[in-house]
A and B are shown apart, each in its own frame.
Chain A
Amino acid sequence: MSSRRFSMRPLHWIVLGLFVAALGVAMPRIAAFTSSTGSVASSAWAADPDPVPHDDPPAAAHDKAGDSHGNAGDSHGNAGDSHGDTSAAHGDADGSHGDGHGDGHGDGHGDGHVGLAVFEKPAPVNSDGVVPPAILMILGALLVAALPKLLRGPVAVLVPAITLWYVMTRLEPGMLVTFDFLDYTLHVARVDRLSIIFAMIFSLISTIGGVYALHNGDRRQQVSALFYAAGALGVTFAGDYFTLYAFWELMAVASTMLFWTRERPDSLAAGNRYILVHLAGGTLLLAGILLHLGNTGSILFEHFDPGTGGTAAWLILLGMAVNAAIPPLGAWLPDAYPKATITGAIFCSALTTKTAVYALIRGFYGWEILVPAGVIMALYGVVYAVLANDVRELLAYHIISQVGYMVAGVGLGTELAVNGAVAHAVCHILYKSVLFMGAGAVIHTTGREQLKDLGGFVSRQKLIFALYMIGAFSISGFPLFNGFVSKSMVTAAAHEVHQNWVFMGLMLASVGTFLHTGLKLPYNVWFGEDKGIQPTKAPLNMVVALATAGFFCTLLGVRPGLLYQYLPFAVHWEPYTAAHLVEMIQILLFTFFAFYLFIPKLGGSSSISMDTDAIYRKSQPVFRALFVTAVGAFFDTVQEKSIALAEVVKRWVGDPTDALPGALPRVATDEAGYDEDRNRRPLGVSLTLTMVVLLVLAVWVLVAAR
């Protein structure tokens, strides 16, 4: 225990230093804010007095949500400029959503209501020569597959980097690449602001993931990772359900390889469960798509108005919910991710759930059921993280928790909420990759991945620890880190529409986030009791990748405008306000104090946590008995009985001369003792029988012919 008092001190000072720095950064903004209090608006922490400039007029920037929103375009241009003004209207969308939140909260917000966001369809842009980014990635994957080991690693970094450059410089909202397939016109690349920002972050993280995996020459992993990223990009730009489904399944198959290639029995088994769950989810999606096609005749991937769409929409939503890991459909995630390869887990943590979030935004923003689902997710992950013992299992549960914020944002469906969901997806991909890369580096350098087996070697791994903490500060929402500028958008959006229980639920989840990823995990891995671990040196490429992702986490934290400029809607919201800073400082500090008291309860132990995957894992013997053993036994029995029956039949329809008195036993021609004269049947008997049969037949024919 003496090591604890010593070891906690640096962390203490880091935390304090960061708070002081954050206050320093924020002071000018606070001054600006307090000098313009007249503009204080209803969003939770204030409307931005100096909003991030937004080059594209909203009317030209977005895909429209559906025909029913078509007439909302005119009012949207105004709403963008006066988002804080609660009288802003969003055309006819208000009726379906805003009314539910508007009344009965005389709490000083002024109040009317904030309506459902409206994605405007961008004006068509010449798309000649545009290559869907997924195709670039697939070609890159095929190239990598053919290259020798020395070149594979660098090319696996270059391919997503080129794709990122291509997305940022060559694609613009309004582009559309179509492809005729059977009787349908597929929209294989539909470009708008929403798809561009997701494609940017997917390409960026694939590049960083490629760097992290440079030391790993496993061709299967390198190629699978690129195919996986291609799937994510394909989904992101899919304008129709067929394209969406094809890339959805490509993701499922390619990502499964990242578990199987670890080649441990538990990884193989987890990969099997993973692919089965994802194929089941894909089947739900396909069923919904086909039903939707039957109902509407359209395969275009558009928004379903809340409460409409019927069974088809619900099936599609369920299919997407599997990939978004919404409980109880999300147990595959903490089951599989801890068993992925060290480098493969980076891609897993970034791609599958976030493409699902993208798809949910596109198809289901404003669906109110997603709000409670998101809050439950956020808290569900936190509860399990307390119990988690595997390093990456803890992080996996916090993916569920963080995706909960995004899902809740999608459900809230206002501009601030959708912006928050997108911003948080981007930030989450960055900081979660840092966390998984840090954890991966620990596993790589120590060979241990259970909390109970780790501890006490921070002095031998300072750099990895420091880089990990950047991710931990980010996910916890520390000022100056990206979680601070994105997570709070979603919570503010909940408050903006007076969903206070959502607001409080998400705030509580953020306490749990800091508790686990910021305190429990680093304490148990690097501090605590010294287990005498001597980590090997982490490969340089791992450190570089960690530092790069950490750099982006910090960059977006101090310059949120860099992120906000790419969000689907104009941002009129300022994270660095005095209220928000004080709030986070109090929460984080007192969480830290409480953690200090509960350290004895938060160590690793020898147990696993039951999740909903127990339903199919524990019932596996029953299913095996029903569908494998029972079916096998049935066929075996049928086979046995058939053979027995054939024996009986043979006895009855065999050569009747066998039954004649004095018949000799049959002996095969190649058996010893066979005598041609004794054992061969007399020809006369056969001829006689044949003639008798012919005679009978002839008589019968004659009689019948009469």
Chain B
Amino acid sequence: MKLKTPSTRGWIVAGATAGIAVALQYVLPLEHHGGWWESIPAWWAVFGGVGCAVIVLVSKWLGKVFLQKPENWYE
């Protein structure tokens, strides 16, 4: 499946939403966890995006080298 770029409107919506989500962190008066990660800007945004990528890539890699078998593997 070929990846298709979103329309201009799609990009604007995505960018604005992402911007608001990150900006909220600095606009709202937040209590603090006390974790080391709080010093990293937009930590949870990075965590969500990179985490998702890591999950997909690592799982796919594991599937390729080890876990995925043909459908009739047990027959």
List residues of chain A with CB under 8 Å of any chain B CB: 1, 4-5, 12, 16, 30, 33-34, 37, 40, 42, 44-46, 107-109, 382-384, 386-387, 495, 500, 503, 507-508, 511-512, 515, 529, 577-579, 581-591, 593-603, 606-610, 617-618
* Contact residue among B44, B58, B62, B74 (Cβ-Cβ distance under 8 Å from A586): B44
Given A12-B13, A585-B24, A593-B49, CB of A515 within 8 Å of CB of B60? no
Give the dominant DSSP class at A's interface.
helix
User: Chain B: which residue is nearest A16 at the CB level?
Assistant: B17
Q: Does A107 lie within 8 Å of B1, measured CB to CB? A: no
**Further contacts, 17 of them, CB under 8 A, given A582-B28, A602-B56:** A1-B2, A37-B31, A44-B33, A384-B59, A386-B59, A495-B35, A500-B36, A579-B30, A581-B24, A586-B21, A586-B43, A586-B47, A587-B47, A590-B47, A596-B6, A607-B71, A610-B69
Q: Which residues of B contact A34 (CB under 8 A)?
A: 29
Give, as a whole number of angstroms, the nearest-CB distance from B54 to chain A: 8
The 8 nearest A-B residue pairs measured at CB: A590-B48, A386-B59, A594-B52, A590-B49, A586-B44, A587-B48, A107-B34, A108-B34
Q: Does B21 lie within 8 Å of A33, measured CB to CB? A: no
Q: Does A610 lie within 8 Å of B33, measured CB to CB? A: no
Given A599-B3, A607-B68, A608-B70, CB of A591 within 8 Å of CB of B35? no
* Contact residue among A1, A583, A596 (Cβ-Cβ distance under 8 Å from B44): A583
User: Chain A: which residue is nearest B33 at the CB level?
Assistant: A44
Q: Which residues of A contact B18 (CB under 8 A)?
A: 589-590, 593
Give, as a whole number of angstroms, the nearest-CB distance from A163 to chain B: 40
Q: Does A590 lie within 8 Å of B45, measured CB to CB? A: yes
Q: Does A609 lie within 8 Å of B68, measured CB to CB? A: yes
* Contact residue among B30, B31, B63 (Cβ-Cβ distance under 8 Å from A609): B63
Given A511-B52, A586-B22, CB of A599 within 8 Å of CB of B68? no
Q: Does A617 lie within 8 Å of B25, measured CB to CB? A: no
Q: Does A590 lie within 8 Å of B60, measured CB to CB? A: no
Q: Does A386 lie within 8 Å of B48, measured CB to CB? A: no
Mark contacts of B4-22 with chain A using CB atoms, 8 A cut-off: 1 yes-contact digit, 0 otherwise: 1011001001100110011
Given A12-B13, A603-B1, A610-B73, CB of A582 within 8 Å of CB of B24? yes
Q: Does B55 lie within 8 Å of A40, measured CB to CB? A: no
User: Chain B: which residue is nearest A379 at the CB level?
Assistant: B55
Q: Which residues of B contact A577 (CB under 8 A)?
A: 31
What separation, in Å, do the CA atoms of A448 and B10 have in the docked complex? 32
What separation, in Å, do the CA atoms of A515 and B52 have in the docked complex? 7
What separation, in Å, do the CA atoms of A597 and B22 have in the docked complex? 20
Give, as a whole number of angstroms, the nearest-CB distance from A26 to chain B: 10
Q: Does B48 lie within 8 Å of A594, measured CB to CB? A: yes
What separation, in Å, do the CA atoms of A1 and B5 have in the docked complex? 10
Q: Which residues of A contact B47 (CB under 8 A)?
A: 507-508, 511, 586-587, 590
What separation, in Å, do the CA atoms of A584 and B45 have in the docked complex? 9
Q: Does B42 lie within 8 Å of A591, measured CB to CB? A: no
Q: Does B55 lie within 8 Å of A582, measured CB to CB? A: no
Q: Does A508 lie within 8 Å of B55, measured CB to CB? A: yes
Given A593-B18, A602-B56, CB of A582 within 8 Å of CB of B48? no
What separation, in Å, do the CA atoms of A594 and B30 have in the docked complex? 26
Q: Which residues of B contact A596 (CB under 8 A)?
A: 6
What separation, in Å, do the CA atoms of A608 and B73 have in the docked complex? 8
User: Chain B: which residue is nearest A516 at the CB level?
Assistant: B55
Which of A577, A581, A583, A584 has the most chain B CB within a 10 Å cutoff?
A: A583
Give, as a whole number of angstroms, the nearest-CB distance from B19 to chain A: 10
Give, as a whole number of angstroms, the nearest-CB distance from B38 to chain A: 9
Q: Which residues of B contact A508 (CB under 8 A)?
A: 47, 51, 54-55
Given A108-B32, A597-B3, CB of A591 within 8 Å of CB of B51? yes
* Contact residue among B14, B34, B71 (Cβ-Cβ distance under 8 Å from A593): B14
Give, as a whole number of angstroms, the nearest-CB distance from A273 to chain B: 11
Q: Does B28 lie within 8 Å of A598, measured CB to CB? A: no
User: Chain B: which residue is nearest A27 at the CB level?
Assistant: B28
Q: Does B53 lie within 8 Å of A598, measured CB to CB? A: yes
* Contact residue among A44, A578, A583, A610 (Cβ-Cβ distance under 8 Å from B68): A610
24 example contacts (A-B, Cβ-Cβ < 8 A) are as follows A37-B31, A108-B32, A108-B34, A383-B59, A386-B56, A507-B51, A508-B51, A508-B54, A511-B48, A511-B51, A512-B52, A587-B47, A587-B48, A589-B45, A590-B44, A594-B50, A594-B53, A596-B6, A599-B1, A607-B68, A608-B71, A609-B63, A609-B68, A610-B69
* Contact residue among B48, B62, B66 (Cβ-Cβ distance under 8 Å from A588): B48
Which of B35, B66, B68 has the most chain A CB within a 10 Å cutoff?
A: B35
User: Chain B: which residue is nearest A603 at the CB level?
Assistant: B1
What separation, in Å, do the CA atoms of A40 and B42 have in the docked complex? 22
Given A507-B47, A590-B45, A609-B63, CB of A45 within 8 Å of CB of B68? no
User: Chain A: which residue is nearest B16 at the CB level?
Assistant: A16
Q: Does B48 lie within 8 Å of A383, measured CB to CB? A: no
Given A386-B60, A609-B63, CB of A109 within 8 Å of CB of B34? yes
Q: Does B35 lie within 8 Å of A500, measured CB to CB? A: yes
What separation, in Å, do the CA atoms of A585 and B45 have in the docked complex? 8
Q: Which residues of A contact B45 (CB under 8 A)?
A: 586-587, 589-590
* Contact residue among A387, A579, A597 (Cβ-Cβ distance under 8 Å from B59): A387
Which of B13, B17, B48, B53 has the most chain A CB within a 10 Å cutoff?
A: B48
Q: Does A608 lie within 8 Å of B22, measured CB to CB? A: no
* Contact residue among A40, A507, A600 (Cβ-Cβ distance under 8 Å from B31): A40
* Contact residue among B2, B54, B68 (Cβ-Cβ distance under 8 Å from A600): B2
Q: Which residues of B contact A4 (CB under 8 A)?
A: 4
Which of A384, A598, A599 has the most chain B CB within a 10 Å cutoff?
A: A598
* Contact residue among B4, B59, B68 (Cβ-Cβ distance under 8 Å from A5): B4
Q: Which residues of A contact B53 (CB under 8 A)?
A: 594, 597-598
What separation, in Å, do the CA atoms of A589 and B52 have in the docked complex? 11
User: Chain A: which residue is nearest B18 at the CB level?
Assistant: A589
Q: Does A515 lie within 8 Å of B55, measured CB to CB? A: yes
User: Chain B: which residue is nearest A515 at the CB level?
Assistant: B52
Q: Which residues of A contact B36 (CB under 8 A)?
A: 107, 500
Q: Does B69 lie within 8 Å of A606, measured CB to CB? A: no
User: Chain B: which residue is nearest A269 at the CB level?
Assistant: B74
Which of A596, A606, A609 has the most chain B CB within a 10 Å cutoff?
A: A609
User: Chain B: which residue is nearest A609 at the CB level?
Assistant: B67
User: Chain A: which residue is nearest B13 at the CB level?
Assistant: A12
Q: Which residues of A contact B46 (CB under 8 A)?
A: 590
User: Chain B: which residue is nearest A600 at the CB level?
Assistant: B1
User: Chain A: which residue is nearest B42 at the CB level?
Assistant: A586
Q: Does B74 lie within 8 Å of A589, measured CB to CB? A: no
* Contact residue among A1, A40, A500, A591 (Cβ-Cβ distance under 8 Å from B49): A591
Q: Which residues of B contact A581 (CB under 8 A)?
A: 24
Q: Does A382 lie within 8 Å of B55, measured CB to CB? A: yes
User: Chain B: which residue is nearest A107 at the CB level?
Assistant: B34
Q: Which residues of B contact A603 (CB under 8 A)?
A: 1
User: Chain B: which residue is nearest A266 at the CB level?
Assistant: B74
Q: Which residues of B contact A597 (CB under 8 A)?
A: 3, 53
Q: Which residues of B contact A578 (CB under 8 A)?
A: 24, 28-31
